[in-house]
Structure formats: C-alpha cells, structure tokens
Structure 1
Amino acid sequence: MRVLLCKTGHRMEQMVKEGLLNVEIEVIELCKSPAEKDYEVEFVQELTEYIREQKIDMLWSIGYFPALSRGCAISRVPYIAWEMGESWNTLYSETIKSPWNYIFIAEERIAERFWKKNPGHIFSLQPGVNLRDRSLQSDTVCLCNTDSYPVYYLKNNYSWYAKGYTRGLIEAQQRVYGYHFLPKLINGKYRTEMGKVLYEPYRAGDYSKKKISVMLDDFLCDTITQNEREEVTNRIKALGLYSESEVPAVNVCIPSRKCRTGIPYEMLLTMAAGGFILTGYQEGIAAGFNLGEELIVYEDMKDMEEKVKYYLEHEEEREAIAEKGRIRVENDFRLEDRLEEIFYAVTEGMKHINK
C-alpha cells in the first residue's frame, strides 16, 4: 500500500509517518499543500495526476482540506483527515459528504455535530502519540499548547449594549472551569444584534450556513481562551520562571474553551515524554485521566500560581505524578492503536463502496 501524506506543518505528521512505516506501509510526502484550503483548480489537477502516476492508494492529512477531498473524489481513493486542532471551519464545506472521505475528529461533540452529514465516514477519535526520550528538566515553566484561533470579525457599528453584554459573558465564563453556561445566558436581543455584526472574513460558496449560536459560542470561547493564555503567560513571566527553549519542570496546559470533550494533542505529547502537566479543567481531560494522580488541575489563576510554586519545590512528588501520567498515555493513547482504528473504519467503509 502507498500512502500520500500531505504536509501542512502539524507536529503530528512525523509521528503518523513513523507509525505507518512501522506497519510496512510505504509513505510518500506531498510537500506542496493547497494555497487555498477549499478549492484551487491547478492544485487539484496536479494532485489527481500525481495520485495516478504514483499509484497512490490513500491520502492522509492532519486537518481537513476540501481541496484534498476533491482530488481524492476524482481519483477515487480514500482521503483520511484527522482533525485535532481548535478550528473545524472547513468541515462546513459540502465536500465532507464525499464517500471517499474518512474524517476523524478529536473533539467528540464536533464529530457528533457533523456525523449526520456523512454517516459512516465521520468519527470521534482522540489523538495518539509515541513515547519519546526526554532530556534533563530545568526549573522553568512553559505553556504546552498554543494553537492559533479561527478569525472572527465584529463590525464597528454595534451598540454599547452588545459590547457590554459581550464583555460580561466573557468575564463570567472565564472564571468558571468545567461548566459551560454561555448558551443559557444569550438572550434573543443579543443574538439578533450579534448576528448582524459578527462575521468570518471568508467562506467558500459551497459552505453550509453556520448558525449564529455556533458562531457566537466559538467567538466567545476563542476570546476567553486567548485571554487566559495571555494571563497565564504574564503571571509565569512575573514569577521569573517562563521559558520557551529549556525543557520545563512544569508544563501549564490551557485547554481551548471550545474543545470541551477532547484532549489536547500537545498535552499528550508532553506527558508521553514524561512531562508534568498542570492544566485547567475540561470534561475530556477528566474522563481520560485520574486528576490529582496523573496530572494536576488548577481552579483559578491564583491556584495556578500556587501550584506552580509548590510542584517546583516538590520534585519527587512532581516526578511521581508525571510518571503515572506517562504510563496512562502509554496504555491508553498509543498512536499504533489509533492507526488500527482508522484502518478498520476505512476497510469497513470501502466494503460498501466496492459493492
């Protein structure tokens, strides 16, 4: 079997390549990705020709790209897209209905949202990692997930009422971890006004309409996440402990407020290397790990600071927790197991196509 791996710059690509090679699958890297994720005619033509010339059996990418889906549909080869970031805007493309797509989404509730668009071809699948060697730790702290955010814009002509309501919603939700109450606080007047001023800079013509409630939730959650990451960074810098280059003793994970049922890939990657995790609470993290034993959860910014100081001073306790976390990742989040699940889903799906 020959797999074409489209390189888009995600850190997981190399792991996927190694995982496929370990099961004796030939991997060819496609180093040119579409300039436009949705539809670039020249790119799709080149892709279909390349698939034919190289006798490609399957195409993989980290993240879903409609242009790749188009090329695979024309070539009649399976397209495996593993969506694990904080943005899933391209999933609104009508191309996700292609029977050649096999889309795996780390965020369970998002997989459920899109499943009806292509039953049997959209799945919930947490990330998987390989264990890695870890160099000696220094007495520093860093953030272990810093994904970018999808872009939403607000027109300038919205009322002071909407501005104040937005600020109040953000400030209220930002103080609460583990319970998402924003939808219950959004009234009809606010939703109607924000529907007129909140927009995305670009959406392809074949994209399905995004509900204003979804846009509002994404916008508010992105803003909260960005605010929290900036605040955590500033607080750690104020302690004189922040580092971007050294191997840290404490890794602070600030999960996206949108990704409530998934587990951040960067967090798993850090734990696989034996790193100690201090994280904000999310439903997916609580379901995947024993809190307080395999990783530590902070309740607010003050608690985060106190726990950073505590675990820097208590090395043995910190390392024991990190080791338990590493073992959990080794047992439950192995990339090899995830690849098996993917191949099983694709094999079963292809049986129906080939009938």
Structure 2
Amino acid sequence: MKILFYRYNSICEPSIIGALSSFNIDVHEIMEDKSGNAESAKSNIEHVQSAIESIKPDAVFSINFFPMLAKLCHIYGLIYIAQSVDCPVMELFDRSMQFDTNRIFLFDKAQYMMLRPYNPSCIFYLPLGSDPEYVAGMLKQGDPRPDLTPPGIAMVGSLYSEKNPYGEIKDKLLPHTRGFIDGLIESQKAVYGYNFIEKTLPQNIAEEIHEQNPMFTGRYEDNCIMDASKLRRFTAAHYFLEYELAQKERFETLSELSRSFKTDLYTNSDTKELTECVKEMGSNNFTIHEGVKTLTQMPIVFNNAKINLNITLRAIETGLPLRMFDICAAGGFLLTNYQEELPEYFEIGKEAEYYGSKDELIDKCSYYLTHEDERTRIAQAGLERIKKQHTWRHRVAQIITSIWE
C-alpha cells in the first residue's frame, strides 16, 4: 500500500509516518509551501496533483483537515485521511468535508458528535497518542540547555496573549456587551468538564463581535456546512471568548501557584504583564523561560518537573489534548484540569491526576510535591499506559482497521 503524506511540520508527523511505515506501508512525503499567498496556494495544488499522478497512492494523509486535499482526492477517487490534532479547526466546516472519499478522525467527542451528522459514514472518533520510544531516545540523548530541570511545577505552552482575537476588539464593544461577556467568562472559568459558553451566548452579541472583526469568518462563510449565523456564534464562542478565557485562566493560575510553589513557565508568549503581577505579589517562586524545542527539549522538561500542569483550551470540550499524552510519554507526572474523557484513558490517582477547582489544584500540588514516591509511581504508571494503549502505532492501527477492514 502507498500513502502520500502531506506535511506542514506538525510535531506529530514524524511519529505517525514512522507508525505507518511499521505496517509496511510505503509512505511518500510532500511538504506544504507555507508562504501563504495566492501563488503558494496554486503551487500546493499543482504539487499534490503531480505527486498523485506520478506516485499513484492508495490514499492521501494529513494532520488536520485541508479542503484542497479533500477536493483533489475526490476528483481522483482517492481516500483522504485527515487526523485532527487541534480543536477547533475551521477548515472542518468547509463543504468539502462531506465528500464520501474522506476519512476524518476527530479526538474530541463533542466535536465528533457535532460534525458526524454532516458525513456519518466518513467521520470517526479517535483519541490522540504519543511516541514513547522516540521520547526515550530524546531523554537519553539529552540537551545542553541548562534550564530544562524545573524544581517544582512546570508548564510548557502559550499564554494565548498573542493568539487572542478578542483582545483586539473588546474596547470597541458596547459597555453592556463587555459586561455580559466578562460575567460569562468568569462563570465558565469556575466550571471544569462542561462548556456552556456557546449555548449561553446570545446571537446578537455574536453578531456584534463579528461586526468588529468581519474578516475572521468571512473567508469561511461562502462554502460552509452551516448557516452564517450559526458559524458566527460558534467562532465568537470558541475563538474570541474562549481564547480570552484561556489567557485569563493561564495568567491567574500561574500567578496563584507561584504564591506558594516554585513554578516555571516555558513560553514564547509576551510575559511582561504576568511578570509585573507576580512581582507585585512579592513572590520569588516564579521563573519564566524561553520556549522549548518541541521534539527535543520539551520531553526533558516533562521528565524533570515534579508536576507538569496542563490547562486545556476550552474549545476542546471533552477530549484530551496532545499535551497530556506527551507528558505521560516522557515519564512525567500529569496534573490537568478535569476533562470528561480523562477517566476513559487514564486511571485517576494511579496514572494521572486532575483538579476540578482552583482550591483542589493548590491542595494537590501541595500534596504531590511532598509525596515523591507516590508521584513517581503515578508518573511511571502513566508511561506504561501510554506504551500499552496510546502510542501513535496504536492509533494508526485503528485508522487502518476503520478504513480497510
């Protein structure tokens, strides 16, 4: 079997390509031109078309869904496999997702339940995974960077300050709109395991948000599987408001933890405001580092930290983000916000831990920082669970079974 793998440097690509190859699949790689202009878009189409005609693959594979690939595969009568690793992905709302040649795999059950009716026989639920064998190699290899051994709690990732579109428009909104949104975000911030922002957001507020940033969804509306008003409400909730929530939640959580515990943040985000806040608190526990290299340095941080904090973007309503699997694959101790699907894949208190409130987060950090043996046992058990059930090879096997058996 031959598969044409369309790459754009997603961190999952090498491991999934390796997993495909382990099943004696002949993988041919093609790299996306990421210039982002009309010429590069045309070049990508021509490049894929040429590869299809010369290689004659049995299927085309990509991380996340690309309408261009779906359309080309539909024309050539090829299976198009899209493994989603991000949520939300706006391209999934393109009408091309309804082609019968698609095989789309989604890791968030809430998203799966929402999108499956648009193409019932071609959309599948599949959790994410990791590559513990690769990670073990990186840990053995090591890295000369001196700050990869955090002494207590560590978080690797964005503060969402650079990704938050709501921050650009909130001062333009009507005062009562700002007040409603502030209250809604504060309410959701206190609730883990259930997302009510989209259900609670009035349509008129969604429309007001998009009046201030019409370009955000304009490029998706003309060829969307849902009507424009529903799309605007979805994007207002899951991009604008939930990115604002993510920024607030990460800012406040890290600030609060640093009151009592050594806390290290590895990020490429702007940290000026957070640094000033921590200084005003008089805390000497907080250390900010430059972001780490995902494939080589991040596993070392996960392995060395006593507690690895995961804060899931609320747009992932029920599923487990990639970060959870990668922490456990590095032999790290995972402490995450509660997600509905978490107990389906890890035994709570034995393979991973969660918090359901800020007070519970503080209590569990205090407990596990002073109970090293128990913390180590949980981290090791989490790693064993990954090896037994949650590698990318397991996921590729499930994809193959879903499509060809």
TM-score range, shorter-chain basis?
A: 0.7 to 0.9
Structure 1 residue 160, shift from structure 2 partner: 0.7
Query: Deviation string for 1:295-350 (max 9, x for gaps)?
Result: 111233354344334323321111111122222323332322321221122226xx
Answer yes or no: is the 8 Å Cα contact 2:112–2:123 preserved in 1. Answer: yes
Compared with structure 1, are the counterparts of its residues 151 and 96 closer, same or farther at alpha carbon in structure 2 (3 Å cutoff)? farther
For the residues of structure 2 that align with 1:264 and 1:342, how far apart are their CA atoms?
Answer: 19
Structure 1 partner of 2:274: none
Is structure 2 residue 154 aligned with structure 1 residue 142?
Answer: yes
Provide, for residues 109-153 of structure 1, a one-character-per-residue CA deviation record: whole Å limited to 9, x for no partner: 212222222221111111122323246965243225549758566
Q: Which amino acid aligns with 1:225?
A: A
**Partner of 2:57 in structure 1?**
56
Confirm whether residue 23 of structure 1 aligns to residue 43 of structure 2. Answer: no
Equivalent residue in structure 1 for 2:237, among 217, 220, 240: 217
1:226 aligned to which of 242, 247, 261: 247
- Aligned counterparts of 2:248 and 2:116: Cα–Cα separation in 1: 31
Offset from partner CA, 1:177-214 (integer Å, 9 cap, x none): 12333356445664565565564525243234351432
What residue number does 2:295 align with?
A: none
Aligned to 1:85: 86
**Aligned in 2, Cα 1:4/1:192: closer, same or farther, shift over 3 Å?**
closer
The total of aligned residue pairs comes to 348
Q: CA, structure 1 residues 36+58, in 2 after alignment: closer, same or farther (shift >3 Å)?
A: farther
* Alignment partner of 1:203 is 2:256: no
Alpha-carbon distance in 1 for matches of 2:88, 2:211 = 22
Give the alignment's TM-score, normalised by structure 2.
Answer: 0.76
Q: Show the 5 A alignment for 1:71-220.
A: 71-132=72-133, 133=136, 134=139, 139-144=151-156, 146=158, 151=165, 154=169, 157-183=172-198, 185-187=200-202, 190=205, 193-194=208-209, 196-197=211-212, 199-201=214-216, 202-204=218-220, 205-208=222-225, 209-210=227-228, 211=230, 212-218=232-238, 219-220=240-241
Fraction of identical pairs, as percent: 26
Letter in 2 for 1:217: A
| Residue segments in structure 1 that go unaligned for 5+ positions in a row | 349-355
Amino acid at match of 1:10: S
The CA distance in 1 between the partners of 2:214 and 2:112, in whole Å, is: 23
Alpha carbons of 1:37 and 1:298: their partners in 2 closer, same or farther (altered >3 Å)? farther
- Name structure 2 gaps, 5 residues minimum: 143-148, 267-291, 293-300
Q: Are 2:340 and 1:319 equivalent residues in the alignment? A: no
Separation in structure 1 between the aligned mates of residue 17 and residue 159 of structure 2, nearest angstrom? 22
Quick check: 2:333–2:378 contact (8 Å CA) kept in 1?
Answer: yes
Paired with 2:64 and 2:94, the residues of 1 have a C-alpha distance of 13
**Structure with the higher helix share, 1 or 2:** 2
Q: 1:301 to 1:329 in 2, by over 3 A?
A: same
Mapping of 1:235-254 within 5 angstroms? 235=256, 239-244=261-266, 246=301, 247-254=304-311
**Would you say the 8 A contact 1:45–1:71 is kept in 2?**
no
Distance 1:226 1:120 in 2: 37
- C-alpha deviation, 1:171, in angstroms: 1.0
**Alpha-carbon distance in 1 for matches of 2:201, 2:331:** 42
Amino acid at match of 1:213: R
The CA deviation at 1:60 is 1.1
Matches of 2:77 and 2:126 in 1, distance apart? 24
User: Is contact 1:5-1:61 (8 Å) kept?
Assistant: yes
Q: Supply the AA of the counterpart residue of 1:241.
A: T
Change (3 A) 1:122 1:110: same
CA distance in 2, matches of 1:150, 1:95: 28
Alignment partners' CA distance in 2, 1:170 and 1:199 = 22
**Paired letter, 1:328:** R
2:334 corresponds in structure 1 to: 277
TM-score normalised by length of structure 1: 0.86
What are the superposed Cα offsets for residues 220-271 of structure 1, whole Å, 9 maximum, x if unpaired? Answer: 2232123212333444566443053543221100012121221111211211
Matched, 1:300 2:315: no
Structure 2 distance, partners of 1:192, 1:7, is 36
Which amino acid counterpart does residue 87 of structure 1 have in structure 2? P
CA RMSD in angstroms comes to: 2.9
Separation in 1, partners of 2:198, 2:265 = 37
State the secondary structure of the residue aligned to 2:373. Answer: helix
In 2, distance between residues paired with 1:12 and 1:21?
Answer: 14
- Which letter does structure 2 place at the counterpart of 1:21? S
Aligned partners of 2:193 and 2:318 also within 8 Å: no
**CA distance, structure 1, for counterparts of residue 403 and residue 26 of structure 2:** 17
